[in-house]
Structure 1
Amino acid sequence: MPTPSPVSSSVSVPPRPFGRALCAMVTPFTADGALDLDGAQRLAAHLVDEGCDGLVLSGTTGESPTTSDAEKAALVRAVSEAVGDRAALVAGVGTADTRHTVELARAAEKSGADGVLVVSPYYSRPPQAAVEAHFRRVADSVGIPLMLYDIPVRTGVRIEPATLLRLAEHPRIVAVKDCSFDLLGSARVAAGSPLAYYSGAEELNLPLYAIGGAGFVSTVANVVPRRLRDVLDAFDAGDTAGARERNAGLLPLVELMMAAGLPGTVTAKALLGALGHPSGPVREPLLPADTSTTTRLLTAYRTLPA
C-alpha cells in the first residue's frame, strides 16, 4: 500500500488509509464480453501513472453485479501484479447476503487486496442493528481494513451516523465511501471518529475534503485522474482559489458523465474507448452510450480548461 502524500506539518492531516485520490475503476471486457485482464492491467498502470493513490475494483463503476466471484478474484490478482505497491487496491465485495460477502472478502484478501469496500446490504432493507451486525461480521472475518459504502439511493438503506460512530470502534473499519448526500451527517461522523471519509460523489469531492475528508473515490477519475488530483493538491498547498477554479473547470464533464441520465459506468467506458484506453462493452442490463452521447463526452473532455 502506498504512503499517503505528505502535506505541511502545520496542517492537521485527516486519516488517509488508502491515500487521497482513488479511482473507481471500470472493469474492462473484450469485444465478446469476457473479462479483459490484460486491459485491466494496462488501465490500472495508466491510472496510477496519472496520479491515483488507489484503485477500487468491482464497485458500482466496476459492474460488480454482473461479474462472477472468480472474475472478481482474478481482477484483483491481475491489477495487483500490474501496480505492485504503487497504489492501494480496494476490492468491492458487497452483496445482499452476509455469508456471500464474507466469502468475497476472504477471497479478495487472499488475492492481494489491501482493503475491501463493503456496501450496506440492499433489497432486504435491514434495520440499523442488522446493518451494523453485517459490517461487524465481515470485519471479523478478514485481516485487512474495510471501507464502508454508504449509498442509500442504490441500497434502499442508510448507514446512519450513529451506526457509523459505533462501527468506528472496530479496529478494521477505517473508512467510508460517502454517497449519502448528507454533508452535515458526514461532517459529524468525520469529526467524532477516526473514520476516513472519501467522497463518492464528484460534486462533493472538494466540499467534503475542505471539512476534513480523506479524498475521493471517483468514476470520473477513469478519464481525468490527474486533473481531479490537482484540485486536492491545490487545496493542500493553501491555494483555495486555485482549487475552486480547477474544480469548476471539471464540472461540465462531471455533469455529462454523472448527471445526464446514464450510469457513470456507461459514460466512463464510452469516453475511455474513444480515447483509446481499455474499456470494452458494458454488460447487460446496461446498454452502451450512443454515438451522439460519446461525441458530447469527447467534446467536453477536449474543451477542459488548460
Structure 2
Amino acid sequence: MTSAPAAPFGHVLTAMATAFHADGSVDLEGTARIASYLVDNGHDGVVVSGTTGESPTTTTEEDGAILTAVKDAVGDRATVIAGVGTNSTAHSIELAEQAAKIGADGLLLVTPYYNKPGPAGVLHHFTSVCQATDVPVMLYDVPGRTGTQIDLATFEAAKRLETVVAVKDAVGDFARGVRLTQLGYAVYSGDDISNLAWLAHGAVGFVSVVGHAAGPQTKAMADAFWAGDTAEALTIFTRLLPAIDAVMGVPNYGATTAKAALQLLGVLDNRNVRGPLVPLTDDEVAALRTGLAASGLL
C-alpha cells in the first residue's frame, strides 16, 4: 500500500481555458464559471493564463482581471497558479509582480519561446522572474512549443532559487523526470497521454487539458495508483484514451478542444477563441463528442 506524495499545488490541476465573448473580449463571468466547475469536479487547483488560456493573446491588464475573477470564484477551495511566462523577461517580471499582489498561490514559468535562449539565458530569465516575488514557482518545460529544452544543469541551478519547487514536464523523458525528483522537484505531468506513466516515475500530479472534461476520472486514476491498485488505475486510464485522443488529436488542440468540450458539457454556451486559433468546425466537434462519449464523459 502506497500513499499520495506531497504536492505543493495539489495533485489534479488543469491548465484552464479563458472564456471570450463573441467580440473577442474576455468573458470574466464565463472564466469564473469554468474555474468553479473544475474545482467542483475533482480538481485541487487550476492554472490560469497558460497556453490553454491563450496567454500569448491576452494583455497584462486582462491577465490580472482573469486571475482576480478566478480567485474570487474558488476562494480557498483550490490553488490558483498564474501563468507568467513570456519571451520577455521584463514582461514576465511585471506579470509575476501583478500575480503576487492579486494573491496567486503559485506561478507557472515557461521557457522563453521563439527567442531560443541558451542555457545561460534560460537561467537568467528564471532567476530574474523568480527573485521578483516570494510566490512558489512551477517551471514549465515544453520544447514542442518553445523550441528550447531545459537541460539538467539549468534545472540543478534553478532549484537553488528559494521559490522554485516544481516542474510541469511536457518532454516525456521519464528517466530524466526521476532525476528531477532527485534534484528536489515536484514533477507534474504536462501531457495527458503520459499521465499514468508519470505516476510510475514519481510524479506528484498533473497539469491537464483533458481535465476540463475528466477531472473526477483523472483523480480516481491517481488515487487508485497511490492506493496500490495499479490495475484499476490502468483500467481508468484505458477508458480515458478516446477522450485524450479526441482532445489532443486535432492540429490546433488545447484551448479550442477544451472550450468545445466545455460547450458540450453545458459549462459554456460558445467555443470562442482568439486568433491565430480558430474554433473547431462542426465536424471536429462531432469527433470530439464521439471521443468524450466513448470515455463515458457525456
Aligned to 1:254: 244
Deviation of 1:54 (Å):
0.6
Aligned to 1:16: 7
User: What do residues 258-285 of structure 1 show as CA deviations (whole Å, max 9, x unaligned)?
Assistant: 1232322111111211221126401001
Asked if residue 164 in structure 1 is aligned to residue 155 in structure 2, the reply is yes
Asked if residue 75 in structure 1 is aligned to residue 71 in structure 2, the reply is no
C-alpha distance in structure 1 between counterparts of 2:46 and 2:34, whole Å:
11
Identity %: 44
Runs ≥4 residues deviating over 4 A: none
C-alpha distance in structure 2 between counterparts of 1:280 and 1:258, whole Å:
16
Aligned to 2:89: 98
Q: Trace 1:266-281 onto structure 2 (pairs within 5 A).
A: 266-278=256-268, 280-281=271-272
Aligned to 2:197: 207
The amino acid that maps onto 2:236 is R
C-alpha distance in structure 1 between counterparts of 2:292 and 2:90, whole Å:
42
Aligned to 2:172: 181
C-alpha distance in structure 2 between counterparts of 1:87 and 1:161, whole Å:
31
C-alpha distance in structure 2 between counterparts of 1:78 and 1:126, whole Å:
34
User: What do residues 228-284 of structure 1 show as CA deviations (whole Å, max 9, x unaligned)?
Assistant: 111101111111000001001111110111123232211111121122112640100
Q: 1:136 aligns with which of 127, 131, 156?
A: 127
Deviation of 1:305 (Å):
4.6
The amino acid that maps onto 1:290 is T
Aligned to 1:42: 33
Q: 2:223 aligns with which of 230, 233, 237?
A: 233
CA contact (8 A) 1:91 1:108 kept: yes
User: What is the DSSP-based 3-state SS (H/G/I as helix, E as strand, rest coil) of the residue aligned with 1:147?
Assistant: strand
Aligned to 2:118: 127
Aligned to 2:43: 52
Q: Trace 1:61-72 onto structure 2 (pairs within 5 A).
A: 61-72=52-63
Aligned to 2:280: 289
Deviation of 1:40 (Å):
1.3
Residue range with higher mean Cα deviation, 206-215 or 17-26: 206-215
Deviation of 1:74 (Å):
0.5
Aligned to 2:185: 195
| TM-score under structure 1 length normalisation | 0.93
C-alpha distance in structure 2 between counterparts of 1:276 and 1:120, whole Å:
34
User: For this pair of structures, how many residues does the alignment match?
Assistant: 296
C-alpha distance in structure 1 between counterparts of 2:170 and 2:249, whole Å:
14
Deviation of 1:163 (Å):
1.2
Deviation of 1:31 (Å):
2.0
CA contact (8 A) 2:16 2:48 kept: yes
CA contact (8 A) 2:87 2:113 kept: yes
Deviation of 1:130 (Å):
1.4
CA RMSD of aligned residues (A): 1.4
Deviation of 1:24 (Å):
0.6
CA contact (8 A) 1:28 1:39 kept: yes
C-alpha distance in structure 2 between counterparts of 1:135 and 1:195, whole Å:
15
User: What do residues 191-244 of structure 1 show as CA deviations (whole Å, max 9, x unaligned)?
Assistant: x22211000100111111122111000011111111111110111111100000
The amino acid that maps onto 1:59 is G
CA contact (8 A) 1:15 1:194 kept: no
User: What is the DSSP-based 3-state SS (H/G/I as helix, E as strand, rest coil) of the residue aligned with 2:75?
Assistant: helix
C-alpha distance in structure 2 between counterparts of 1:124 and 1:32, whole Å:
31
User: What is the DSSP-based 3-state SS (H/G/I as helix, E as strand, rest coil) of the residue aligned with 1:153?
Assistant: helix
CA contact (8 A) 2:252 2:277 kept: no
